[in-house]
Amino acid sequence: MKFVNFVNLSAIVVLIVSCATGEDVGKSSKKVDVLKEFNVEKDLSKFEVTQGPLIVNKQDLTLQKTAKVSNNKYNKKSRANISLPQPVATSAPIEEKSKEQIEEEEKFLGFDKVSETFWSTSTPRWYLGEKTVFRVTYFGVTVGDITMESSDIVYVGGLEAYRYIGNLKSAKYYSMIYALDDSIETLVDIKSNRPMKYSVVQRESGKNADDLQLYDFAQKKSYYWYKRDKKGQISKTEKESAIPTYAQNMFSIFPFIRGLPLDIGKEYIIPIMNKGKVWQLSTHAEGTEQIVIQGASYNALKVSATTEIDLPKGNQDKFIFWFESDERRKPLKFEAKVKLGSLAGEVTSYSSPSP
């Protein structure tokens, strides 16, 4: 079994977790400045991350200079705070486009037309310090934990952004077969509800890898860097790609789905950016049902998601997520059926400082 693929599966499954786990990610994973791992010549000052607004009241999470952002109440009024992107004028010289570029732009216009119908309805269920731990099984065997957290609010190029962080750690006994201690982070623009940065630091048996993706929606471009050191053999990838006006990444997609209205039976088709490519995920709420986790019964909202909706039936990855069916929508459980096998997880620990 190629356990190395566990991190990729987990990153996809992170679709559903916008929060985190019991361990402090900083303690379980070595801090790595991913950008410094690459010799980037581009001017990336617009992606500079600085300390965000101070928390005035940790009990109700009122944010200084961010009073319009409500962390505890999600109503129609708060949804109005999500701003749809506006066209950006440019004086850049017009370049002749290839047939592939024209086809890609037409495809993205189709994506945007669909996304515009629901994008502003996703209200982030974001609670400062919210943490969740999922015990993960692969082919029925417990292989480790996914730890995630709604960390803090930062400025990215002067714009306020939610920071979500996570840790993927193999179980102690399984580490004898394959050790894994990976960290993941994404920064999401509060105003437009779109990601600005995504990074993964993989520290595994026989392999170290760093993955950095930056998104410039004003210019409709993504930047991707990847570096892998496998037993001394170093490989690098760098790519610049076009992106649609609306999209999420492999980590930010979960809090985005968690914040959607998720009306029973309504389908949401969401563009996903990953490694310079854009594909789609179709998701819809099937209904509510009672589930039992660690002896506790929950009324849960069952949500299905399918990747690569344009692929032939049978070649798609399928996921089912269960959220507690209240305003907070606490993540409870997930199941995934992909080409590499079956992956599942249940929440073993949950905490949040906010009521």
Q: Which two tokens stand for residue 199?
A: 């990074």
Q: Which percentage of the chain shows pLDDT scores above 90?
A: 40
Tokens of 270: 């969401």
Decide if pLDDT at 179 tops 50.
yes
Residue-wise pLDDT for 130-167, tens only, equals 999 998 888 777 878 888 899 899 999 999 999 999 88
Lowest model confidence (mean pLDDT) among 47-61, 171-185, 229-243, 291-305: 47-61
Least confident of 47-51, 113-117, 327-331: 47-51
Q: Which residue has the higher pLDDT, 205 or 64?
A: 205
Residue type for position 317: D
Distances (CA, A) of 9 to 201, 343, 345: 15, 8, 12
More confident residue, 177 or 69: 177
Q: Measured between alpha carbons, how far is residue 349 from residues 13, 134, 147, 164, 257 in Å?
A: 17, 7, 9, 17, 21
- Of 297, 355, 348, 353, the closest CA to residue 132 belongs to 348
Residue 186's pLDDT is what? 94
Among candidates 250, 346, 280, 317, which has minimal Cα distance to 110? 280
Alpha helices by DSSP H, the chain: 6-13, 25-28, 76-79, 99-115, 253-259
Mean pLDDT over 213-238 rounds to 90
- Evaluate if residue 264 carries a pLDDT over 70: yes
Q: Where in the chain are the domains?
A: 3-75+103-351
More confident residue, 235 or 45: 235
Does residue 81 carry a pLDDT above 90?
no
Which of the residue ranges 63-67, 248-252, 316-320, 330-334 would you say has the lowest mean pLDDT? Answer: 63-67
